[in-house]
Copies of this chain bind each other. A is one copy, B any other.
């Protein structure tokens, strides 16, 4: 439906908390934007692990009876997005396995860059794989580590895998929250009563009433068990870590009411809009966002430019609540079904529209045409990030280079294709200035092509399926 790239996953865990599966259910609901195709929750039960997973939104996957069956004070949950090819319940997480080190459940956000070679190696030695996910490789590695002490085996495993991985590992006794040494994907810890919660984003804490404590640090493993204090250890020394936080979390993925990598997402986006107004002013009457992803930046743009802020597009409340049958007349109406346009706002006006990013450009052009049809005099498009020109290998599902409009065209051409009077992208420098961690701490590969961790040749997200 949307022209936006999609995140692979969202994570949530509750430890030492009453009705942990219910808390996890609400936590996953708050993280639903990170994955809409499957959801799952695993809990420990008498030395074993049981799980409920299914295709669909969190509210569809879990009935009240399902939640009742998952009664526990420890739970780990996962929401997942997957492309059509591999969209099946076998790939839904948490993955559960019975191993020589006991039963395990694993929830993974991110993408490994050496899973393909690891998997080939394990298969050659007789291991069998049930899923087409890179996450299953982690379980095989862990099960095969010769170390007797579980924690030693875990450290050895984490040192073998490369790429992006925020992990929640459930054993019958505890939950272990782990983040790769670059910290590509977010992972935060909070407190709830006497227990702990872990989540991809802080917005999940707000919904369950938990208090934010801190991030899981890059290279850190945090052990959480009911009635025990948090225990931290590292599989990579702080000196060896090299931060590469995914800047696209700020641009689009994370919810504006979350804090991610130490910054308020809304505040970063608003600053992006302000810098964008400085970099690309527009001779216009009003500024309006493509809601909701462009709203924060549009507010910033309006403030910095002094132009009037308007809500010319309004999201239709019923989009997604009901499946509208595709019919012969639908396609034309498609964009109109998601965003209602207030014609009176734009008629005869010079309009700046602010969006978070452009991927294929098809939806953007449809918006522009609707504005023209409604009588907008000029349409100036402003984009709150640089042109997206490269694929992501760390967990975001961008389309291929041939589909990325900015990989195929320069900016003047894009302006023509989108039929706008002017087009301005935020500079990479501007984007990085809007954050507070320092330019060298972010992964900007989708804009700059600089990949912080080398990629196995030929890897893409289906490589595991095609073999």
- Please list the residues of chain A having a beta carbon within 8 angstroms of any beta carbon in chain B: 19, 22-23, 25-26, 29, 32-33, 48, 56-60, 62-64, 67, 89-90, 96-100, 104, 123-130, 132, 139-140, 143-145, 203, 206-209, 255-257, 259, 264, 266-267, 292, 295-296, 299, 302-303, 308-311, 314-315, 317-318, 320-330, 332-333, 336-337, 340-345, 465-467
The answer to whether B98 touches A467 (Cβ under 8 A) is: yes
Chain A contact residues, majority secondary structure: mixed
The answer to whether B96 touches A123 (Cβ under 8 A) is: no
The answer to whether A130 touches B97 (Cβ under 8 A) is: yes
Q: Contacting A340 at CB < 8 Å: which of B60, B63, B257, B467?
A: B257
A129: chain B residues at CB < 8 Å are: 97-99
The answer to whether residues A325 and B257 also contact, given A311-B299, A342-B266 and a CB cut-off of 8 A, is no
A124: chain B residues at CB < 8 Å are: 100
A59: chain B residues at CB < 8 Å are: 318, 321-325
Q: How far is the CB of A192 from chain B (nearest CB, A)?
A: 11
A256: chain B residues at CB < 8 Å are: 314, 340, 342
A33: chain B residues at CB < 8 Å are: 317-318
A337, B292: Cα distance in complex, Å: 16
Q: How far is the CB of A127 from chain B (nearest CB, A)?
A: 6
A324: chain B residues at CB < 8 Å are: 26, 29, 58-59
With a 10 A CB-CB cut-off, give which of A67, A126, A128 has the most chain B CB atoms: A128
A344, B259: Cα distance in complex, Å: 9
Beyond A100-B126, A255-B340, 15 additional contacts (C-beta under 8 Å) are: A29-B322, A59-B323, A62-B325, A63-B325, A64-B325, A64-B326, A67-B325, A123-B143, A126-B127, A206-B336, A208-B329, A255-B314, A256-B342, A295-B311, A302-B309
The answer to whether residues A128 and B123 also contact, given A325-B67, A329-B22, A342-B264 and a CB cut-off of 8 A, is no
A33, B128: Cα distance in complex, Å: 31
The answer to whether A318 touches B207 (Cβ under 8 A) is: no
The answer to whether B317 touches A203 (Cβ under 8 A) is: no
Q: How far is the CB of A154 from chain B (nearest CB, A)?
A: 14
The answer to whether A57 touches B26 (Cβ under 8 A) is: no
The answer to whether A320 touches B317 (Cβ under 8 A) is: yes
With a 10 A CB-CB cut-off, give which of A130, A208, A315 has the most chain B CB atoms: A130
A26: chain B residues at CB < 8 Å are: 324, 329-330, 333, 337
A89, B130: Cα distance in complex, Å: 13
Question: Nearest chain-B residue to A466 (Cβ)?
Answer: B48
A467: chain B residues at CB < 8 Å are: 98
The answer to whether B337 touches A98 (Cβ under 8 A) is: no
A341: chain B residues at CB < 8 Å are: 206, 257
A309, B59: Cα distance in complex, Å: 34
The answer to whether residues A207 and B337 also contact, given A257-B343, A318-B57, A324-B59 and a CB cut-off of 8 A, is yes
Q: How far is the CB of A465 from chain B (nearest CB, A)?
A: 7
Q: Contacting A328 at CB < 8 Å: which of B19, B139, B323, B336?
A: B19
A329, B26: Cα distance in complex, Å: 9
Q: How far is the CB of A444 from chain B (nearest CB, A)?
A: 24
Question: Nearest chain-B residue to A96 (Cβ)?
Answer: B130
- In the complex, 12 of the A-B residue pairs with CB atoms within 8 angstroms, ordered by the A residue number, are A48-B466, A57-B321, A97-B129, A98-B123, A98-B129, A98-B467, A100-B127, A126-B144, A127-B128, A295-B311, A295-B314, A299-B310
The 5 closest A-B pairs by CB, nearest first: A59-B322, A126-B144, A264-B344, A100-B123, A97-B128
With a 10 A CB-CB cut-off, give which of A96, A325, A330 has the most chain B CB atoms: A325
Q: How far is the CB of A104 from chain B (nearest CB, A)?
A: 8
A328, B48: Cα distance in complex, Å: 26
Question: Nearest chain-B residue to A126 (Cβ)?
Answer: B144
Q: How far is the CB of A4 from chain B (nearest CB, A)?
A: 12
A139, B295: Cα distance in complex, Å: 49
The answer to whether A322 touches B57 (Cβ under 8 A) is: yes
Question: Nearest chain-B residue to A328 (Cβ)?
Answer: B19
A318, B207: Cα distance in complex, Å: 14
Question: Nearest chain-B residue to A122 (Cβ)?
Answer: B100
Q: Contacting A292 at CB < 8 Å: which of B48, B315, B326?
A: B315
A104, B127: Cα distance in complex, Å: 13
Q: How far is the CB of A70 from chain B (nearest CB, A)?
A: 11
The answer to whether residues A322 and B58 also contact, given A19-B327, A337-B29 and a CB cut-off of 8 A, is yes
A315: chain B residues at CB < 8 Å are: 292, 315, 317
A19: chain B residues at CB < 8 Å are: 327-329
